[in-house]
Amino acid sequence: MRKRIVLYILTALVATNCSCDEGKDMDSPVIMMNDSRAFPPNCATLYRGEQFEFRAVFTDNRALGNYNIEIHQNFDHHSHSTGAEECPVDSVKTPHNPFVYNQSFAILGSPTYYEAVAGIAIPAEIDTGDYHFMVRLTDRAGWQQLAAVSVKIADRN
Amino acid sequence: MISLLFAFPIRAQQTTIRAQDSITELEAVTVSTGSPRNRIMQSAYSRQVIEGIWVEENLAGSLMQSLESLPGIQAASIGAGQSRPAIRGLGFNRMIVAEDGVKHAGQPWGEEHGLEIDQFAIGDVEISKGAGALRYGSDAIGGVINVRHESMPLRRFEGTTNLMIKSVNESVGVAAQVAGRAGRFWYRAKMTLIDYADAGVLADSIQYYSYYIKLHERRLRNTAGKEQDAGLAVGYAGDKLRTTFRIANVYTKNGFFANAHGLEVRLSKIDYDRSRRDIDLPYHAVNHIKISNHTEWQSERWRVELRAACQYNKRDEYAEPVSHGYMPTPPNTLERQFQKQTCNIGAEATFLWSAQHVVHVGLEAEYQQNRSAGWDFIIPDFRTTTTGLYVQDRLSLSEDLALTAGVRVDRITTGIDPYYDWYRTPVAGGDSLFLMRAAPLQRLFTCLTGSAGINYRTGLWVLKANVGKSFRAPIPKELGADGINYSIFRYEKGAAWLSPEESYQLDAGVYWGNERVEVLAESYWNYFPNYIYLNPTAEYREGLQLYTHTQSRVFRWGFEATVDWRLSDNIHAALTGEYVYSTQLSGEKTGYSLPFSPPAVATLLLKYQPHTTWTGPDGFIALHCKVVGNQYAIVPPEKPTDGYQTLALSAGRSFLWGSHRLRLMLRCDNLLNTAYFDHTNYYRLMDIPEPGRNISFLVGWQF
């Protein structure tokens, strides 16, 4: 009798397990940086004293959350991009006035498809050289995706 | 045998003080020979004692990895030589590791923080699953792993030396101890030295996010480490009074996989591949010193136990300095440092009220302070004072029916110091500030907990059930954190309003056994009205994903089952299974599981002990099969993990010459060199597979 009761309870619990799977989002959002419309591509050159436009397509199975763009110096070659291609780098140097950019952007309305566009101004007085351009993207459920490209900041002339 | 009886009652904690109790306790210690029914009758919750020899036969890289094959016990490995424990999926601050009844005070909240206990310096291990709140207070929600030391040596002078080697990380170790007695006084001195190289894995490269990291000679770059432990115990053992003073130091230094520290892919100018035995950045160096006294006085109707201990845990975490956001490149490599000092004192009196009633009364007090340093901020400095009082009555209505009930009250105060960044962050209006990362806070938590249980024996059956409430005071990281956790690259925000986490649990167990077959099934149903959960949000804070500490309702249930079958005098088979299900019932992650939920596991052990002259008194060969299920019940940022099967083979025997004993043990783990991921291991998030085939050899000489 006792065993039968335990069995009933176990069966009931197993049954409830399966029913609650439907509501859960188990997929990370997607950053499409390889698209021809995306900017900057890996190994791109950006120019100080100018503004450029970040462009990428984000998708998610349910609802996109927010995204963040971070640009930091890679003068010590501490990391590399998520792209397959290795970009040519300058020699290692000490930062004096490196460009630091860190900005978060809201994606309104929790869409499943979003074309991100953001204008980013590079001040004229910052150090030129190798930089990392990182994109972080969340969805509403808290999953995150990263994409990083190597870029160079130079003078236009 | 007489000396054994003499030695073991000191360890008795939950048993009565009648004369035959020394015998029941002894039976509990020698699991294989005593009457298991008596053992099951002793506690209403799941309680098990593992002998030191069992740990030796299942020896892995660290204590928890050795104990992992027990049902309901999980080890989250941090490489091949470090691990942190979990019981029924509850780890971190939701379970307690104790030494001789004294709570071990390390930094268990960290994913990459291993347990600082020398696995060669133990007598036996007492495991209580899902209970222990009454005796240990806060944090014992998941259970207690109580490591007990050997007490008085049996002879005037004796000693042991163990040498061991392990192939997977080229580990070399020596553990030695000498002990002796003069009249009623005794001593025991121990030392352990272990050195290991970068662990080998079954992969040429690792794909992390979309990063591609090549491995040199299939080795996990910079996961080498070492351990250096020493301890001394001196004691007096009289007829009524026994006391032991113990001082022990555990030092570990271990490197971390160089290319993905902090969940960020990193290249470095350090030439990691020049040697696999060196430890470069990033690495942790931890020193834990423990000084304790355990005194017991016993009379006809009374037993009084006193425990006092002071512990100093110093953890230095080093990493290459990197600028991030507005934090400039730090001037040194000390990423984090924690210095925790803990002193506690406890007294427990056991009183034989009548032939039926045994009453335990206990009082505990603890003071703890923690200071942090380094360029990374994760927990504010704090001081915690805990006082607890408990009383328990065990009523034996007959030989076959016992009731247990107890209550405990705790008062915990936590004081948190403010913390400011060491660098300036620009704020609106062109100004910049040293941002405050933790606000000063003073909290008082009071908790009333209790448990009640029943044990009933009929024929070959023993039935038991226990219902209990346990709790955990929020830790300062959960209350006061407000900054970037660089070692996992996320922004963590605490909540000063968190209430003490409470857990209600029903445990039920069935045992059936005859001379040949024993079956034990234990199940539990567990409800948290306010589980403290670090919730990954969709928001960004200072460029990193924001994780906030919140509380949600959680339901868990699970079971462990063991079938022991002595097929003949020579052959023994054991089948075990464990399963945990957890679900969040409220909050943003309703319907999701809990972080690091262990998958279902089944194991089969086949042990053959021929008892012939050429195999000696205890020669054996054993086959261990392990089948692990898929773990697809995950929460962000975890990844679904597929199940796997592994095989292990072990063999060993002793040689006796007079009072000398030589013991050889050979073991091969992951016999088929299977590539797999362990869902709860630290390196899982970085997509790093587990080690491949591992051959270990142990030679022990006892005199």
Q: What is the CATH number of the domain that holds B624?
A: 2.40.170.20
Q: Specify the amino acid at residue B68.
A: E
Tell me how far apart the alpha carbons of residues B187 and B162 are, in angstroms, rounded to a whole number. 19
Q: What is the pLDDT of residue A8?
A: 57
Nearest chain A residue to B212, by CA: A82
Pick among B486, B545, B556, B582 to test the A interface (most A CBs inside 10 A):
B545
Give chain B positions within 8 Å (CB) of A143.
Answer: 536, 636-637
Could you tell me if A20 lies within 8 Å of chain B, comparing CB atoms?
yes
Sequence-distant (6+) residues with CB within 8 A of B373 are B334, B336, B337, B339
Q: What is the pLDDT of residue A16?
A: 45
Could you tell me if B573 lies within 8 Å of chain A, comparing CB atoms?
no
Strand, helix or coil for residue B261: helix
- Could you tell me if B534 and B505 are in contact, meaning their C-beta atoms sit under 8 angstroms apart? no
Of B265, B463, B535, which is closest to A142 when you measure between CB atoms?
B535
* B529 domain residue, yes or no: yes
For chains A and B, what is the number of CB pairs under 8 angstroms?
A: 100
Give chain B positions within 8 Å (CB) of A100.
Answer: 323, 325-326
* B111 domain residue, yes or no: no
Q: Which residue, among B12, B7, B3, has the nearest Cα to B303 in the 3D structure?
A: B12
Domain hosting B487: range is 159-702
For B367-400, the pLDDT digits (tens) are 999 999 999 888 899 999 999 999 999 999 998 9
Sequence-distant (6+) residues with CB within 8 A of A3 are none
Contact A17 B323 (CB under 8 A): no
Largest CA distance in chain B: 87
Sequence-distant (6+) residues with CB within 8 A of B588 are A142, B535, B537, B550
Q: Is B359 exposed, middle or buried (0-12, 13-18, 19+ CB in 10 A)?
A: middle
* Averages of pLDDT over each 10 residues, chain B, 703 residues: 33 34 34 63 86 85 87 88 91 92 91 89 89 84 92 90 94 95 95 94 78 82 94 95 96 88 65 89 95 95 96 95 82 94 96 92 96 90 96 93 94 94 88 90 94 93 94 92 80 93 95 93 96 95 92 96 94 96 94 93 95 86 95 92 95 91 93 92 86 92 93
Pairing between β-strand B601-608 and β-strand B620-628 as defined by DSSP bridges:
antiparallel
Q: What is the pLDDT of residue B24?
A: 33
Q: Long-range CB contacts (< 8 A, 24+ apart) of B593-596?
A: B593/B633, B593/B634, B593/B635, B594/B89, B594/B531, B594/B533, B594/B554, B594/B556, B594/B635, B595/B533, B595/B534, B595/B635, B595/B638, B596/B76, B596/B86, B596/B89, B596/B91, B596/B638, B596/B679, B596/B680
Q: What is the pLDDT of residue B691?
A: 86
Could you tell me if B205 lies within 8 Å of chain A, comparing CB atoms?
no
Strand, helix or coil for residue B671: coil
Number of structural domains found in chain B: 1
Q: What percent of chain A has pLDDT over 70?
A: 81
Give chain A positions within 8 Å (CB) of B632.
Answer: 26
For A100-116, the pLDDT digits (tens) are 888 999 999 999 999 99
- Could you tell me if B9 and B238 are in contact, meaning their C-beta atoms sit under 8 angstroms apart? no
Tell me which DSSP letter residue B186 carries: E
Per-residue confidence band for A79, with pLDDT thresholds at 50, 70 and 90: low
Contact A78 B592 (CB under 8 A): no
Q: Which residue, among B438, B435, B424, has the nearest Cα to B326 in the 3D structure?
A: B424
Nearest chain A residue to B210, by CA: A82
Is the C-alpha dihedral spanning B663, B54, B511, B402 positive or negative?
positive
Evaluate if residue A15 carries a pLDDT over 50. Answer: no
- Rg of chain A (C-alpha set): 22
Give chain B positions within 8 Å (CB) of A21.
Answer: 591
Can you spell out the DSSP letters for A19-65?
A: HGGGG------EEE-SSTT-BSPTTEEEETTSEEEEEEEEE-SS-EE
- Could you tell me if B172 and B127 are in contact, meaning their C-beta atoms sit under 8 angstroms apart? no
Residue B18 CB neighbour total at 10 angstroms:
15
Strand, helix or coil for residue B476: helix
Contact A138 B324 (CB under 8 A): no
- Could you tell me if A155 and A123 are in contact, meaning their C-beta atoms sit under 8 angstroms apart? no
Could you tell me if A21 lies within 8 Å of chain B, comparing CB atoms?
yes
Residue B683 CB neighbour total at 10 angstroms:
23
Of A68, A78, A102, which is closest to B268 when you measure between CB atoms?
A78
CA angle B350/B351/B352 to nearest 5° reads 130
Could you tell me if B432 lies within 8 Å of chain A, comparing CB atoms?
no
Sequence-distant (6+) residues with CB within 8 A of B523 are A6, B507, B508, B509, B557, B558, B559
Pick among B490, B540, B546 to test the A interface (most A CBs inside 10 A):
B540
- Rg of chain B (C-alpha set): 25
In CATH, what is the architecture of A24-154?
Answer: Sandwich (2.60)
Which phi and psi angles does B18 have, rounded to 5°? -70, 160
Q: Specify the amino acid at residue B570.
A: N
Tell me how far apart the alpha carbons of residues A105 and A107 are, in angstroms, rounded to a whole number. 7
Q: What is the pLDDT of residue A61?
A: 94
* B292 domain residue, yes or no: yes
Q: What is the pLDDT of residue A148?
A: 84
- Could you tell me if B419 and B436 are in contact, meaning their C-beta atoms sit under 8 angstroms apart? yes
Evaluate if residue A10 carries a pLDDT over 80. Answer: no
Could you tell me if A132 lies within 8 Å of chain B, comparing CB atoms?
no
Sequence-distant (6+) residues with CB within 8 A of B259 are B206, B208, B213, B221, B265, B266, B267
The total number of residues shown for chain A amounts to 157
Strand, helix or coil for residue B545: strand
Contact B591 A102 (CB under 8 A): no
Q: Which residue, among B244, B303, B23, has the nearest Cα to B123 in the 3D structure?
A: B244
Question: Tell me, what's the ipTM?
Answer: 0.85
Strand, helix or coil for residue B573: strand
* B625 domain residue, yes or no: yes
Of A17, A80, A142, which is closest to B636 when you measure between CB atoms?
A142
Q: Which residue, among A65, A9, A54, has the nearest Cα to B540 in the 3D structure?
A: A65
Q: What is the pLDDT of residue B4?
A: 32
* B109 domain residue, yes or no: no
What residues does each domain of chain A span?
A: 24-154
3-state per-residue secondary structure call for B103-139: ECCCCCCCCCCCCCCCCCCCCEEEEEECCCHHHHCCC
Given the structure tokens 């490196």, which residue do they identify? Answer: A98
Could you tell me if A128 lies within 8 Å of chain B, comparing CB atoms?
no
* B119 domain residue, yes or no: no
Sheet arrangement for strand A44-47: A44-47, A144-154, A129-139, A64-73, A101-106
Give chain A positions within 8 Å (CB) of B583.
Answer: 17, 20
Give chain B positions within 8 Å (CB) of A70.
Answer: 325, 543
Q: What is the pLDDT of residue B5?
A: 31
Q: Which residue, among B673, B576, B688, B691, has the nearest Cα to B641 in the 3D structure?
A: B688
Nearest chain B residue to A31, by CA: B210
- Could you tell me if B448 and B412 are in contact, meaning their C-beta atoms sit under 8 angstroms apart? no
Could you tell me if B458 lies within 8 Å of chain A, comparing CB atoms?
no
The total number of residues shown for chain B amounts to 703
Contact B323 A141 (CB under 8 A): no
Contact B523 A6 (CB under 8 A): yes
Contact A20 B591 (CB under 8 A): yes
